[in-house]
Amino acid sequence: MEFISVFDIFKIGVGPSSSHTLGPWKAAAQFVSRCIKNHYLNDSCTIQVSLYGSLSLTGKGHGTDLAIIMGLCGYNPETVDTGNIEAIVQNIRDTKILLVNGDIHIPFDVDHHIIFEKDFLPFHANGMLFRVMQSNGDVYSEVYYSVGGGFIIREGETTSDLSNQTAHPYPIQNSLELLEYCNQTNNSISEIVIANELMDRSETEIHNKLLSIWDIMLQCMYIGCHSNGYLPGPLNVKRRAAEVTGKLLNNKEYVDKEGWLNSIKAHDAGFQEVLKWVGSFAIGVNEVNASFGRVVTAPTNGSAGVIPAVLLYYLCFVNKKAGQDEIVRYLCTAGEIGSIFKKGSTISAAMGGCQAEIGVSSAMAAAGLTELLGGTPEQCTIAAEVAMEHHLGMTCDPIGGLVQVPCIERNSMGAIKAINAASMAIDRNPMDIIVPLDNVIQTMWETAKDMNRKYKETSEGGLATAVNIIDC
């Protein structure tokens, strides 16, 4: 049984897509690392990358080609200065040289050595074929799949690139097993999660790393809610979060995200204003994501705004005295729900449509919020089920292959649905539920398999074809 850590679900990366940007970036870096280890790279070889399926059909809009280049050059998506990405890629376009491992100069023409194929590989809709071709005609190749949420699988492997597969006290495949452990130990979901995580790192490390993840989420919301202008790309989408939040605070002055947070808490917001705040939190994150900014995959980049928006809602409007303990509990609970969805269905829009992204993130956020509201483990899973139940069948049809329309607004909708689901779950008796979480996860997967391929991140159906870029 795969163990999926909360730190596998919450990855720090670069937008706009975990499956089309972060995954290919990691695959390219892993391929190069393996080639260096086996001495396959030299100044006289060439590298060629073929992209298949959804990566080909929407890859340029998602920046897949840029991500491939950054990965081949060895840049780390967690630490790279995102403001330099455009210049780095442009330099490679101009010089037609990849500098690999600091000392290997490989001829590389972006327009010829990254090939957008039209076919789909059999295992997954997001396929990549990497080749190293030697001057003597020898070729070394590997196939990778980006399976959603920044997870990658190399062909021939049986599991995705998980951080650790040591034994853990509570192996969990589905929500039924999770609830059984909670009942046996009288622990919350977050306590079960931390018990598993303690097998790989200390409690201090767990807390510090989760708080670091939250700090990046908060920073992302802060940047998004203070950035005006237009998003990159041909749609000319105007940023909205900053304008809305500026009006909500009457342009009050502060110097950093902590001051901003305190200003929001001090503000007496009514119901309509709270809705605007939550929507802006989520939209702000995904405006940063759409601008190739640094975000936390939660569980994907396209749905990165839901989970931080719901947590900030709790901190600002529900329990203003909450602190680090609540943040850790929320992220642990949400992360475990995300891992169960990944095991039982998919978190890849190219396989399951947007239900696999916004639907899963909404379910995760609903469960985390329910625990903070005092809900039982059973009520947390009820909240997750309610949230997903009302995202079933949601298609992925980005206009122009960009993670902008309708993706950004969907984060706002997913956050509001999560809050609503948690509110309903708190008042539910687990004995009265009709649909257990595992059943809705199974239904989601069946729906994904039945969904027409053109509605799964191909830009071949839905809004992607109903709205012409020229009309925008």
What is d(CA 10, CA 148) in angstroms, rounded to the nearest whole number? 12
Phi, psi at 431, each rounded to 5°: -70, -15
Instruction: Write the DSSP assignment of 239-269 as a string of letters.
Output: P-HHHHHHHHTTT---SSHHHHHHHHHHS--
Residue 207 vs residues 13, 117, 213: alpha-carbon distances, Å: 20, 44, 10
First to last CA, the chain: 47
Q: pLDDT tens-digit profile of 98-133? A: 999 999 999 999 999 999 998 999 999 999 999 999
% of the chain beyond a pLDDT of 70: 97
Determine what percent of the chain falls in helix, strand and coil, rounding each to the nearest 5: 55, 10, 35
Q: pLDDT tens-digit profile of 213-238? A: 999 999 999 999 999 999 999 999 99
Compute the average pLDDT of residues 251-278: 94
What is d(CA 3, CA 195) in angstroms, rounded to the nearest whole number? 13
Are 65 and 114 in contact by the 8 Å Cβ rule? The answer is: yes
DSSP 416: H
Q: pLDDT tens-digit profile of 138-157? A: 999 999 999 999 999 999 88
Domain ranges of the chain: 18-154, 175-471
Reported CATH class of domain 18-154: alpha beta
Per-residue model confidence (pLDDT) at position 182: 98
Per-residue model confidence (pLDDT) at position 162: 53
Per-residue model confidence (pLDDT) at position 2: 83
Q: pLDDT tens-digit profile of 393-428? A: 999 999 999 999 999 999 999 999 999 999 999 999
The band of 354, judged by pLDDT with boundaries at 50, 70 and 90, is very high
From the list 392, 389, 341, the residue with the least C-alpha distance to 364 is 341
